[in-house]
């Protein structure tokens, strides 16, 4: 008996030789290029950092950017201290939105912070509305079955 022709099965396996969830690499394994670079730089980090700082102090703008990115990385997120009015019903979202607008106008919040908080208020309203719709639907179905 001859073995199956691999070319006939190629269109089914091309680009996906591994089972779902298995990339073929052991979990936590590291890229060979990364390992080689780490071995090359091993023990040199302090000298390279000192040189980058010296270049930055000498006016090299690329080195300045590199050093500043390491000293003070770009801010991803920070806690916002703002007393959002309590949300219990979708109608409370109007009060919350008004409070956000007022906080931006007074300089207590940045527009982007207010936008993020507004999205939270919107998601809350959608969750309450969805829950309300589901409760009404269940109630109607219950009445229909009686």
Q: What is the pLDDT of residues 5-17, one digit of tens each?
A: 555 555 555 556 6
Average pLDDT over residues 28-40: 80
Q: What is the structure's pLDDT at 97?
A: 94
pLDDT (tens digit, 9 = 90+) per residue, 84-139? 889 988 889 999 999 999 999 999 999 999 999 999 999 999 999 999 999 999 99
Phi, then psi, of 24 in degrees rounded to 5: 95, -15
- What pLDDT was estimated at residue 18? 64
State the chain's mean pLDDT as an integer.
82
Supply the DSSP symbol for 82: -
Question: What is the model's pTM?
Answer: 0.47
Q: Cα separation of 71 and 74, whole Å?
A: 10
Measured CA to CA in angstroms, residue 146 lies from 21, 77, 137, 141, 142 at distances of 48, 53, 14, 9, 7
């Amino acid at each position: 008996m001859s073995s199956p022709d691999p070319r006939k099965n190629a269109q089914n396996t091309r680009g996906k030789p591994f089972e779902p969830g298995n990339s073929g690499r052991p979990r936590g394994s590291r890229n060979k290029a990364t390992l080689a670079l780490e071995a090359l730089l091993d023990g040199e980090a302090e000298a390279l950092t000192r040189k980058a700082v010296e270049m930055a102090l000498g006016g090299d703008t690329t080195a300045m950017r590199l050093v500043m990115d390491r000293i003070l990385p770009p801010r991803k997120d920070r806690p916002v201290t703002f007393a959002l009015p309590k949300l219990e019903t979708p109608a409370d979202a109007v009060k919350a939105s008004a409070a956000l607008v007022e906080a931006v106008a007074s300089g207590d919040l940045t527009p982007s912070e207010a936008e993020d908080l507004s999205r939270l208020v919107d998601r809350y309203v959608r969750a309450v509305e969805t829950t309300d719709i589901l409760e009404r639907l269940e109630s109607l179905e219950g009445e229909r079955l009686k």
